[in-house]
């Protein structure tokens, strides 16, 4: 398989050569039939050719890939390299937890917070009855509170925890068992990270190296073993990969399984709904929805029948949970004295408003947004409005961020904010739990929360800009449509809010977009649109001016 976004027969080998030739390096498209629109499927985008930060970073390893690496003749295909990279990141994260593994988890006070190595996993081995051989959802937790007498996690996560408990050696002290429980879970979660990174690399087939953003994400190292969120992250990533390969039923199945592990993946059905609505792909949406419902029921119904109260604990616990660390609501409560008696109502209202805004954006944008873009926006809305934000929640957004905005600069800005928040929450907990008050007080902690909020809002704003100005989208500007869209990729619109004109622009793009951005350079200043080409029914001979901002036009050479 060819491993370059450049034309291997005629294209330049280096970005500087491309600049001298009068076009931006990643614009070039593999040789193919002149009438075949968009980039050729046998090409792979090289991030160092189109991303200035990636190009600068590649110098550490000897510069951008050469021709032999680009041709894919090496054993190090992207999936293998990415799997190794995510394993190394996971190992670094495990090493960062060593101060807690050696004693911090088992000491009173704040050592686990001072060293920023806290994890729920060892504590819940004993605290949720796994050490005593109890079965989640069936056996009551000893000394459990009235609203949490059973395990408070979704069913598939509970099964994951149970398997790890079965694999934990039974001998030794309670501390040794908790250490083993953490190690086994860390290994299983590492496997989930490998599954996720491979799935991400196969979602945008021409852009497998974008998954390196996930593999090297600082928050992946810091937060992977705080809780069991990587299980849902991996299943959701597989769902996106299945949808990108036009396997709607299988995508739905994995969305259902991911929702059975954590609630947030069900939100992905919203973007699928509005995008399939705009493209008229109701059959595929129905298949995905049916697969999701069937898979979720298959996992959950047996536990419902065994003990409904045990199964419902996750939902009742989430409903009655108060505002907690990391949320915008905590700042209002602690800093402004705002009463939050009807918090659930406020959150529901805000989330519904955000969902409606995202739906309007999807149905009225100049071009149909990409699935990953809307997926990031809706999950980010859920995170930003929620009553609690645990540090590991950032893992939910990383795969979607990689697919929605594969640019190192924006990704690292967001990750820096999240890293500072993670360090801030542990420092604050060290301050409030330790007698010596090592750490930061309320004011600095609220600043850390604000950084998290602003970092996520920044990435949301950039993605919304890409939706409104598709030529700024790093995935679309070379003529691609939606590589993760599956049946949506290249599909014509059948419903767009408020806009016969917009449908006309879409028809013009479909009729005249040649192979890649080079064709737009040679496009006429005005393109005639006859009745047969105009779904809006415009008069023959209407013209689309050159200034019309149609996607696929070459962008400025700054790469942003």
Q: What is the pLDDT of residues 176-197, one digit of tens each?
A: 999 999 999 999 999 999 999 9
Domain contains 484: no
* Lowest mean pLDDT, pick from 138-147, 239-248, 250-259, 347-356: 138-147
Q: What is the predicted pLDDT for the residue at 375?
A: 97
The half-sphere exposure of 500 on its side-chain side, counting CA atoms within 13 A, is 7
pLDDT at 448 over 70: yes
Q: Tell me, yes or no, whether 203 lies in a domain.
A: yes
Whether 70 and 85 share a structural domain = no
Backbone φ, ψ for residue 17 (5° rounding): -65, -40
Tens of pLDDT, residue by residue over 92-138, are 999 999 999 988 898 877 789 988 999 999 999 999 999 988 999 99
pLDDT at residue 343 in the model: 77
Q: What percent of the chain has pLDDT over 70?
A: 75
- Same domain, yes or no: 52 and 195: no
Tens of pLDDT, residues 27-59:
333 333 334 445 665 677 777 777 788 777 766
The answer to whether position 533 is within a domain reads no
**Residue 516: pLDDT over 70:** no
- Reported confidence tier of residue 546, pLDDT bands at 50, 70, 90: very low
Report residue 148's pLDDT band, with 50, 70 and 90 as the boundaries: confident
Based on the domain organization, do 34 and 166 belong to the same domain?
no
Q: Which of 29, 48, 74 is the last residue of a domain?
A: 74
Q: Which residue has the higher pLDDT, 240 or 551?
A: 240
- pLDDT confidence of residue 73: 57
For residue 559, is pLDDT > 70? Answer: no
pLDDT at 535: 37
CB-CB contact of 359 with 270 (8 Å): yes
- Average pLDDT estimate for 241-260: 97
If asked whether residues 47 and 181 sit together in one domain, one would say no
Position 339 in a domain: yes
Q: Distance between CA atoms of 253 and 232, rounded to whole angstroms?
A: 13
Closest CA to 537 of 495, 497, 507: 507
Point out which residues pair with 528 in neighbouring strands: 543
Q: Is residue 46 part of a domain?
A: yes
The neighbouring-strand residues paired with 527 are 544
Same domain, 350 and 217: yes
Task: Give me the helices (H) in 227-281, please.
Answer: 229-244, 248-259, 269-279
pLDDT tens digits for 54-93? 777 766 766 666 655 555 556 678 889 999 999 999 999 9
Q: Is residue 288 part of a domain?
A: yes
Report d(CA 168, CA 160) in Å as an integer.
13
Q: Does 310 fall in a domain?
A: yes
Q: Which of 107-111, 335-339, 393-397 has the lowest mean pLDDT?
A: 335-339
Higher per-residue pLDDT: 60 or 495: 495
Judge if 356 and 431 occupy the same domain. yes
From residue 518, give the alpha-carbon distance in Å to each of 12, 26, 33, 446: 14, 11, 14, 49
Q: What is the mean pLDDT of residues 215-237?
A: 97
Domain range for 63: 1-74
Residue 201 clears pLDDT 90, i.e. is over it: yes
The per-residue pLDDT for 555 is 40
Tell me what the pLDDT averaged over the chain comes to. Answer: 81
Whole-model pTM over 0.85 = no
State the CB neighbour count (10 A cutoff) for residue 66. Answer: 11
pLDDT for res 507: 53
Confidence of residue 147 (pLDDT cuts 50, 70, 90): low
The b/e string for 170-201 (b: 16+ C-beta within 10 A; e otherwise) is eeeeeeebbbbbbbbbbebbbebbbbbbbbbb
Kindly state whether residues 42 and 96 are assigned to the same domain.
no
Single residue among 74, 101, 128 that ends a domain in this structure: 74
Q: Given this model, what pLDDT does residue 539 score? A: 34
Number of domains in the chain: 2
Residues 330 and 205 occupy one common structural domain: yes
- Asked whether residue 502 is domain-assigned, the answer is no
170 and 277 co-located in one domain? yes
Kindly state the tokens that stand for 476.
Answer: 């679309």
Spatial CB neighbours of 336, under 8 Å, sequence gap ≥ 6: none
Q: Does one domain contain both 68 and 91?
A: no
247 and 227 within one domain: yes
The percentage of residues in the chain with a pLDDT greater than 90, rounded to a whole number, is 55
Query: Using 50, 70 and 90 to split pLDDT, how confident is the model at 548?
Result: very low
Q: How far is it, in rounded angstroms, from Cα 198 to Cα 210? A: 11
Residues 46 and 118 in one domain: no
**Domain C-terminal end among 31, 50, 74:** 74
pLDDT reported for residue 461: 97
Question: Is it the case that residue 525 has pLDDT exceeding 90?
Answer: no
The 10s digit of each residue's pLDDT in 344-362 is 788 889 999 999 999 999 9
pLDDT of residue 142: 80
Query: Among 81-85, 146-150, 418-422, 534-538, which is the least confidently predicted range?
Result: 534-538
pLDDT band at 331 (very low <50, low <70, confident <90, very high): confident
């Amino acid at each position: 398989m060819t491993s370059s976004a450049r034309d291997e027969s005629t294209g330049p080998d280096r970005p500087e050569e491309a600049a001298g030739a009068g076009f931006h390096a990643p614009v070039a498209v593999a040789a193919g039939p002149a009438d075949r629109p968009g980039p050729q499927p046998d090409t792979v985008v090289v991030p160092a050719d189109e991303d200035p930060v990636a190009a600068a970073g590649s110098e550490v390893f000897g510069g951008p890939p050469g021709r032999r690496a680009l041709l894919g003749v090496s054993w190090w295909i992207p999936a293998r390299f990415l799997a190794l990279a995510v394993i190394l990141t996971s190992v670094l994260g495990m090493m960062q937890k060593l101060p807690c593994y050696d004693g911090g988890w088992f000491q009173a006070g704040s050592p686990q917070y001072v060293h920023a190595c806290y994890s729920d996993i060892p504590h819940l081995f004993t605290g949720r009855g796994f050490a005593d051989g109890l079965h989640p959802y069936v056996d009551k937790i000893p000394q459990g509170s009235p609203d949490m007498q059973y395990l408070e996690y979704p069913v598939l996560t509970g099964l994951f925890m149970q398997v790890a408990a079965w694999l934990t050696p039974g001998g030794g002290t309670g501390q040794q068992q908790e250490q083993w429980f953490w190690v086994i879970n860390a290994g299983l979660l590492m496997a989930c990270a490998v599954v996720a990174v491979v799935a991400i690399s196969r979602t945008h087939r021409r852009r497998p190296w974008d998954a390196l953003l996930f593999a090297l994400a600082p928050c992946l190292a810091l937060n992977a073993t705080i809780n069991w969120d990587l299980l849902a992250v991996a299943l959701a990533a597989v769902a996106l990969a299945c949808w990108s390969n036009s396997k709607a039923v299988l995508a739905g199945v994995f969305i259902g399984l991911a929702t059975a592990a954590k609630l947030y993946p069900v939100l992905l059905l919203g973007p699928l709904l509005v995008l399939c609505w705009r493209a008229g792909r109701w059959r595929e949406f129905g298949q995905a929805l049916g697969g999701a419902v069937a898979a979720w029921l298959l996992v959950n119904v047996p536990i419902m029948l065994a003990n409904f109260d045990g199964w419902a604990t996750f939902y009742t616990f989430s409903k009655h949970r108060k505002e907690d660390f990391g949320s915008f609501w905590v700042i209002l409560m602690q800093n402004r004295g705002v009463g939050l008696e009807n918090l659930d109502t406020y959150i529901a209202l805000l989330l519904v408003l955000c969902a409606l805004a995202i739906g309007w954006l999807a149905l009225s944008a100049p071009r149909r947004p990409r699935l990953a873009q809307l997926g990031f926006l809706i999950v980010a809305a859920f995170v930003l409005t929620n009553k609690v934000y645990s540090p590991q929640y950032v893992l939910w957004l990383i795969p979607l961020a990689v697919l929605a905005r594969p640019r190192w600069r924006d990704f690292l800005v967001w990750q820096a904010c999240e890293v500072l928040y993670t360090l801030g929450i542990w420092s604050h907990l060290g301050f409030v739990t330790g007698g010596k008050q090592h750490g930061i007080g309320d004011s600095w902690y609220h600043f850390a929360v604000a950084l998290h909020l602003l970092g996520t809002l920044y990435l949301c704003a950039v993605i919304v800009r890409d939706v409104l100005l598709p030529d700024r989208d790093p995935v679309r500007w070379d003529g691609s449509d939606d590589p993760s869209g599956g049946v949506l990729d290249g599909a014509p619109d059948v419903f767009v809010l408020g806009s016969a004109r917009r449908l006309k622009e879409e028809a013009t793009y479909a009729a005249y977009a040649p192979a890649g951005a080079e064709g737009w350079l040679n496009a006429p200043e005005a393109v005639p649109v006859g009745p047969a080409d105009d779904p809006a029914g415009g008069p023959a001979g209407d013209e689309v001016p050159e200034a019309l901002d149609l996607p696929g036009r070459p962008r400025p050479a700054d790469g942003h």
